[in-house]
């Protein structure tokens, strides 16, 4: 059984890449458990911005910890990368973030605004 969910988990992103993975993971787990309705969760599909693998590893790490003794325990996390649109507040250039960077592609400014709105979303879950 697959539930389709598209939920915004984070309205803000810190482009210095110091996202609070713990909070993100907690939110993903809460949502997944709510949708799973006490059934065992076997797979969690997450849409994530094209950032470093460390973030995914952190989310997996926290998931293991937070999901212990819950229907989320042992669930396989699957990450799908989605591009993130960024606007530069200095030169107003718009570009897609395709690598870990905190600078404008055009003018190297660090004053950036996220246009996509979020970078971690729960797409769907699979339960048993």
By CB under 5 A, name the binding residues for Zn ion: 88, 90-91, 93, 104, 106-107, 109
Closer CB to Zn ion, 66 or 94, in the complex: 94
Query: Smallest distance from the beta carbon of 11 to Zn ion, in angstroms?
Result: 23
In the complex with Zn ion, which residue's Cβ is closer, 114 or 126?
A: 114
The answer to whether 5 and 125 have CB atoms below 8 angstroms apart is yes
Shortest distance (Å) from residue 119 CB to Zn ion: 20
- Smallest distance from Zn ion to CB 6, Å: 30
Distances in Å between the alpha carbon of 39 and those of 34, 35, 42, 59? 10, 9, 9, 21
Residue with smaller CB distance to Zn ion, 68 or 111: 111
| Residue number with CB closer to Zn ion (66 or 91) | 91
Contact 85, 96 (CB under 8 A): yes
DSSP codes of every residue in 68-125? TTSTTTTPEEEEEE--EEEEETTT--EEEE-SS--S-TTT----EEESSS-SEEEEEE
CB of 94 to Zn ion, least distance (A): 9
């Amino acid at each position: 059984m697959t539930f389709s969910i598209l939920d915004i988990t984070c309205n803000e992103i810190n482009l210095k890449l110091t996202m609070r993975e713990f909070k993100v993971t907690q939110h993903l787990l809460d949502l997944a458990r709510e949708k799973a309705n006490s059934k065992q969760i076997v797979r969690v599909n997450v849409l994530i911005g094209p950032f470093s693998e460390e973030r995914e590893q952190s989310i997996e790490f926290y998931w293991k910890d937070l999901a212990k003794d819950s229907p989320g325990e042992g669930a396989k996390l699957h990450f799908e990368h989605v591009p993130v649109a960024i606007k530069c507040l200095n030169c107003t250039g718009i570009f897609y973030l395709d690598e870990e960077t905190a600078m404008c592609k055009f003018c190297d400014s660090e004053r950036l605004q996220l246009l996509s709105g979020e970078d971690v979303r729960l797409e769907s879950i699979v339960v048993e």
